[in-house]
Structure formats: C-alpha cells, structure tokens
Structure 1
Amino acid sequence: MSYFMYDLMGETHDEPDAEAMRRVLDGLAEADDEHPDVSLSHESGWCLSAFTGGLLVWENTDNGSPAPGKMHKVSREEVLRLFGLLAAGDITTVEEQPWQR
C-alpha cells in the first residue's frame, strides 16, 4: 500500500511515519493564502487535506465522486488519527466519519 503527503510548500513526503506526519501538520502554523493546506493521499485516490482552524476535507482526487466531505474544528490529534487510518488503507473508517457534503 502506498501513500504520500504534500507539505505546505508542495514538497512530497513518501510514506511518512507518524512523527513525519506530525511535522508536516505542524507546518500549518506558516499557512497563507497561497499555501493553505497539507494533505495525505492514498494510492486509491482518496485524500485528506488539513487547513488551519481545523478544516478537514475528504475527497477522491482520481474519480471525483462522491462530492468532497468537510469537517470543521477537527483537533490536531483527530487529524493525525485519520491520516494514520488513510495511510493504512482503512478507507471505510475514514468514510464513516461525520462528513458534511
């Protein structure tokens, strides 16, 4: 199973461990209008994008369906938990979250 992350500046991190995910997420402290998010993408096409303020977006970037889901005010620890689930390929558990579509 393959996954990767984009940091705030768009640099790719292949299969980061939990500590590397934390460091990438910490980069959100420097977010601006041009670089607003970090993301984790799974080989299946599913992606989680985290923004400052706790916005989390869930979407399939390969096929575009279903409509992207959003959650607001998601804690840092919950984002990391969901990143870990997606990295492990547990799409079902991530999809079962209370996404607003």
Structure 2
Amino acid sequence: MYDVVGGTIDSPDAETMRRVLDGLAEADDEHPDVSLSHESGWCLSAYASGLLVWENAEDNTVHPGEMHEVGRDEILRLFGLLAAGDIGALDGLPWRR
C-alpha cells in the first residue's frame, strides 16, 4: 500500500488501511491519491474527491476502470477485498472504462 506521500506499507491490516485513507485529507496536486496493490498486478487508487481507479499495472490490454463519488466505507471494503485477493468480486463491479 502507498500512502499519500508515497510511503510504502507492506501487508496493511484494516486499521492501517483506514489511517492511510484518512491521509487523503493531506492530498495535493503532487500527491493526489493512496493505493493498494495485489501481487497479481491489480491496484486500487483512491482520491480525495471519491474517485476510485481499478487497473492492472502488469497487463496493458486491460483498460482501467473508474467509479466516482465512492464513499470512505466502500473504499475500505474494496481495499479489504483486494487485500484478500478477491479479484473476481472487484472486477465484477460496475467500473466505467
């Protein structure tokens, strides 16, 4: 997981993910998001505006998906799914591509 200033957190638990997401209050133009990556290459990036981006950094044939105005609790839930490796549940969501 990457916090808002680019710091790395290995294997974050739910409380750590919550704290990292809280760090979006300090987001700026240079550091606009926090993200969680899975060993499969899938990544969720969350922005203070409620934008959530779902992408696979290792597979350029898959277009990134977006959701807008996603609430904090839902972002935490989705981070939890990614941390657990539930790629299918995440990929099945209504992403705008």
The aligned runs of 1:8-19 (5 Å cut-off) are: 8-19=4-15
Runs of at least 4 residues off by over 6 Å: none
Given candidates 81, 84, 90, the residue that maps to 1:88 is 84
Contact 1:54 1:72 in 2 (8 A): yes
TM-score, normalising length: structure 1: 0.94
Q: Distance in 1 between matches of 2:31 and 2:38?
A: 21
Q: Which structure 1 segments of 5+ residues have no match? A: none
The corresponding residue for 1:38 is 34
Unmatched 5+ stretches in structure 2: none
More strand by share: 1
Match of 1:57 among 53, 70, 74: 53
Aligned residues: 97
Q: TM-score, normalised by structure 2?
A: 0.98
Identity %: 71
Question: What do you get for the CA RMSD once the two structures are aligned?
Answer: 0.5
